[in-house]
Amino acid sequence: MSVPAFSDIAKAANDLLNKDFYHLSAGTLEVKSNTPNNVAFKVTGKSGHDSVTSGTIEGKYTDKPNGLTLTQTWNTANMLETKIEFADNLAKGLKAEGIFSFLPATQARGAKFNLHFKQSNFHGRAFFDLLKGPTASIDAIVGHEGFLAGASAGYDVQKAKVTGYSAAIGYQAPTYSAAITATDNLSVFSASYYHKVNSQVEAGSKATWNSKSGNTVGLEVAAKYRLDPVSFVKAKINDRGVAAVAYNVLLREGVTLGVGASFDTQKLDQATHKVGTSFTFES
């Protein structure tokens, strides 16, 4: 198995716990389309529970033979962002990307330069914010026979000091994975586990302890069950009694519906529940 990026060492468990739960927004609409000349368009709109609506339009051009990807986005906050990626041009496994943003209302500008280098047993990344600081963030993971170990660090060039550091270890196999991370200057510790029980059932859990806020350990557990080839259900609950359920179904080719809800099991008599829906159209 390939070595993941540092932020993805617990990806399987995190995806099971956080992905495809639709209650966070009252409504989500996503439309995707592709053209014959390798241009993909995506429009996303969200309506929050506070009645605030937001949206993003994205266009992406991909030139695979030359390793070039150009992405342009524009959102309802009137922020423009351009991302240019070059993959495998200078060396195999090396990807360089530049991200440039502009906010017309305030004339604010952003410029970032990132490097990703991936080999069979190594995955390293470097992120540079050229206009703020400038700052740099570097992380790397090495892997051997499923065992993973990595670390990350941030540095502020102007202040000449380390701004943060983290470490992680893990193990991944085809049907299960586990990871322990120490973030926020080794003060927040998390342990996660994911298991693909069979082709229909997946289960996972995560425990988190913030050493700065006391001895309380937060716990989340989640499960996913595939009903048939085109639909599945998910459920999760945490140590505070907050539960969430979700249902996802492919209505027809290119049309996906997601429905989700969350509720506080200790306050069922109060209006703390949230319900959300999601529609995705793809062509």
For 255-271, how does the pLDDT look when each residue is reduced to its tens digit (9 = 90+)?
999 999 999 998 888 87
- pLDDT tens, position by position, 166-212: 999 999 999 999 999 999 999 999 999 999 999 999 999 999 999 99
- Per-residue pLDDT averaged across 74-101, rounded? 95
pLDDT of residue 254: 94
pLDDT of residue 268: 81
- Per-residue pLDDT averaged across 236-255, rounded? 96
HEC-encoded secondary structure of 48-100? CCCCCEEEEEEEEEEEHHHCEEEEEEEECCCCEEEEEEEECCCCCCEEEEEEE
pLDDT of residue 214: 84
Q: Where are the domains of the chain?
A: 6-282
- Does the structure show a pLDDT above 90 at 225? yes
- Per-residue pLDDT averaged across 57-61, rounded? 97
Q: Which of 40-44, 118-122, 270-274 has the lowest mean pLDDT?
A: 270-274
pLDDT of residue 271: 79
pLDDT of residue 270: 83
**Single-letter residue type at 56:** T
For residue 134, is the peptide bond before it cis, meaning its omega torsion is within 30 degrees of 0?
yes
Mean pLDDT of the residues in the chain? 95
The residues pairing with 103 across neighbouring beta strands, listed in sequence order, are 108
- Does the structure show a pLDDT above 90 at 69? yes
Closest CA to 13 of 222, 272, 153, 215: 222
pLDDT of residue 267: 87
pLDDT of residue 57: 97
- May I ask the CATH architecture of the domain 6-282? Beta Barrel (2.40)
Closest CA to 142 of 170, 114, 164: 170
pLDDT of residue 151: 98
Side-chain half-sphere of 130: how many Cα atoms within 13 Å? 11
pLDDT of residue 51: 85
Report residue 232's pLDDT band, with 50, 70 and 90 as the boundaries. Answer: very high
